[in-house]
Amino acid sequence: MEFSPYRKVTQMTSAKIDLNGKTLDLPVITGSEGEKALDITHLRKETGYITYDPGYVNTGSCSSDITFIDGEKGILRYRGIPIEELAVSASFLDVCYLLIYGRLPSETEVGEFAEQVTHHTMIHEDFKRFFDGYPMNAHPMGVLASTVAALSTFYPQGGNNDLDLNILRLLAKMKTLAAFAYKKSTGQPFMYPRNDLNFEENFLYMMFAVPAESYEPNKAIVDSLRLLLILHADHEQNCSTSTVRMVGSSGANLFISIAAGIAALSGRLHGGANQKVIEMLEMIQGDNGDYEKYVKMAKDRKSDFRLFGFGHRVYKNFDPRAKILKASADKVLNELGIDDPLLEIAKELEEIALKDEFFLERNLYPNVDFYSGIIYRALGIPTSMFTVMFALGRLPGWIAQWKELREDSKWRIYRPRQIYTGRTPDDLKDGV
Ligand code: ACO
């Protein structure tokens, strides 16, 4: 499986910067969709200055061929293909292949890929003992991050020749680890994967089947899961992906780097928001559906309460994933004959927030996490597993970004600088 980088970056103009009487030319680089950046690679060497950008709001850490987002227009494309198109016609494994290897697979290729992923789904028997050590109420994201890191001890990466095999292993085994983490929390026996099932079916089987009872995954549930996984599959340089690149940039093994990404995803401002959204909607439900009280709290500068599932660093008009999921939530609940009062609460909350000056001024719109939890609930996924579901979807994106970094001939260790604001030796002399 070959990777051919596309990298359409042009350098036509330059910007000038005057610092202490010295003028420096900064090349302007332009990406294939017209995005522009000032190339400051030589800034410190030439001037002694660094740039200061807390939260990396204006910082491009890499160039990448994988995913394009236009936050103003609400565009998200994987390898040039709009997610709306993939959401209709692709399988999750098609999207994994697309992200990792740069193009959609042929029928033969995806057949072979699926076969390989299926045959790597089992985990080493010794590995099951890891699960004995966790408390029953361990959060599954902690279990997932630590067990994925532990995979590196079973499959140490010798060289690049192992990479394709380790990618298959990771794609296959992470869903087994996720399902086992859930089984551990319920005290039920682990269910071993079945080779006659596809990716989504196998995961649902390992989650919900119990011995001595037959289990056939429902078609509507399988298709919803496919859609959710695809919509979460990559999102360029977000917090967890940058973490995967950061850890990978030190030369760390694939499994360990992805484990770090899972850890970053778990936070409530990132992937952990999907769990928080449902907890918030339940809180509103338990408070007689008083949405306005919560909108008021979210606007109160003295309170640290936020409307979870609202706002995004990049999307400033709408999140295209949220748009697809809102429509899908209605469809799935209908198909499954579920009447979830939380869906109504979510819609009312969205309507109120979208008319409010505070949210309008700050461009705060529902993000991918706002409706995904309602769908996970309808599929029978427990709330504590929501962020794990996000991680399963994001896995191919993390792998693709890690691989792209490591195959880049200009790959360097990630090492930001800082402005030191602590005490100086003179302060210490003065007894500060
Ligand atoms: N509810 C209320 N106020 C909000 C919200 C929210 N959900 N999001 C942002 N704001 C306000 C901030 O308080 C700030 O107001 P101020 O200018 O008066 O101080 C302003 O909007 C800008 O917010 P920042 O936090 O500076 O924006 P940033 O780009 O750093 O953060 C983030 C983006 C983390 C997504 C933020 O909108 C948030 O916390 N949302 C809720 C958590 C969430 O849903 N996270 C999932 C994001 S999608 C993902 O990771 C998959």
Supply the DSSP string of 210-270, one letter for each residue. Answer: -TTS-----HHHHHHHHHHHHHTS--SS-HHHHHHHHHHTTT--HHHHHHHHHHHHTSTTT
Residue 20: predicted pLDDT: 84
**Position 428 in a domain:** no
Residues 95 and 199 in one domain: yes
pLDDT band at 100 (very low <50, low <70, confident <90, very high): very high
Give pLDDT tens digits for 188-242: 999 999 999 999 999 999 999 999 899 999 999 999 999 999 999 999 999 999 9
| Residue 298, ligand 1, Cβ within 6 A | yes
Output the six-digit token pair for 236. 């360029």
Does residue 174 sit within a domain? yes
Q: Are residues 243 and 128 in the same domain?
A: yes
210 CA from centroid of ligand 1 (Å): 41
- Do 308 and 260 fall within a single domain? no
Is the pLDDT confidence value at 11 over 60?
yes
Are residues 55 and 122 both part of a single domain? Answer: no
Examine residue 87 and state whether it is found in any structural domain, yes or no: yes
Q: What is the pLDDT of residues 118-147, one digit of tens each?
A: 999 999 999 889 999 999 999 999 999 999
Minimum CA distance residue for ligand 1 atom 3: 306
The CATH number of the domain holding residue 297 is 1.10.230.10
Tens-digit pLDDT profile for residues 69-94: 999 999 999 999 999 999 999 999 99
Residue 423 lies in a domain: no
Residues 198 and 54 in one domain: no
* 232 catalytically annotated: no
Query: Which protein residue's CA is at the shortest distance from atom 18 of ligand 1?
Result: 301
- Per-residue pLDDT tens for 251-280? 999 999 999 999 999 999 999 999 999 999
How many domains is the chain partitioned into structurally? 3
Please indicate whether residue 369 is annotated as part of the active site: yes
Q: Identify whether residues 264 and 294 lie together within a single domain.
A: no
Pocket test for ligand 1, best of 228, 239, 364 (most atoms within 8 A of CB): 364
* CA-306 nearest atom, ligand 1: 1
**From the CA of 184, how far away is ligand 1's center (Å)?**
34
45: number of Cβ within 10 Å: 7
**CATH number of the domain to which 41 belongs:** 2.20.28
* Residue 27 forms part of a structural domain: yes
- Judge whether 307 lies within some domain: yes
Does the C-beta of 93 come closer than 6 Å to ligand 1?
no
Residue 89 sits in a domain whose CATH number is: 1.10.580.10
Q: Does 10 reside within a domain?
A: yes
Catalytic: which of 18, 369, 408, 430? Answer: 369
Minimal-distance CA residue to ligand 1 atom 2 = 306
The residue contributing the CA closest to ligand 1 atom 24 is 313
Domain shared by 135 and 184, yes or no = yes
Is the domain of 52 the same as that of 177? no
Give yes or no: residues 265 and 288 share one domain: no
CA distances 306 to 41, 109, 257, 315, 359, Å, are 37, 45, 30, 17, 11
Does the beta carbon of 369 sit less than 6 angstroms from any atom of ligand 1?
yes
Residues 343 and 320 in one domain: yes
For the chain, give the percent of residues with pLDDT over 90.
88
CA–centroid distance, 60 to ligand 1, in Å, is 20
Give distance in angstroms: CA of 233 to centre of ligand 1.
Answer: 22
Contacts of range 46-54, beta carbons closer than 8 Å, 24 or more positions apart: 46/22, 47/17, 47/19, 47/20, 47/22, 49/19, 50/417, 50/419, 52/419
281 touches ligand 1 (CB under 6 Å): no
State the pLDDT confidence band at 68, using cuts at 50, 70 and 90: very high
Under DSSP, the state recorded for 310 is B
Residue 245 has pLDDT above 70, yes or no: yes
**10 and 125 part of one domain:** no
Q: Is the CB of 365 under 6 A from ligand 1?
A: no
> DSSP secondary-structure letter at 162?
G
| Chain mean position to CA 221 | 21
Please give the residue range of the domain that contains residue 291.
Answer: 283-378
* 8 has pLDDT over 70: no
Query: Counting every residue, how long is the chain?
Result: 432
Mean pLDDT of the chain: 93
Q: Find the 312 Cα to ligand 1 centroid distance in Å.
A: 6
The verdict on 371 and 399 lying in the same domain is: no
Mutate to test the pocket of ligand 1, among 362, 363, 390 (most ligand atoms within 8 A of CB): 362
* 266 located within any domain: yes
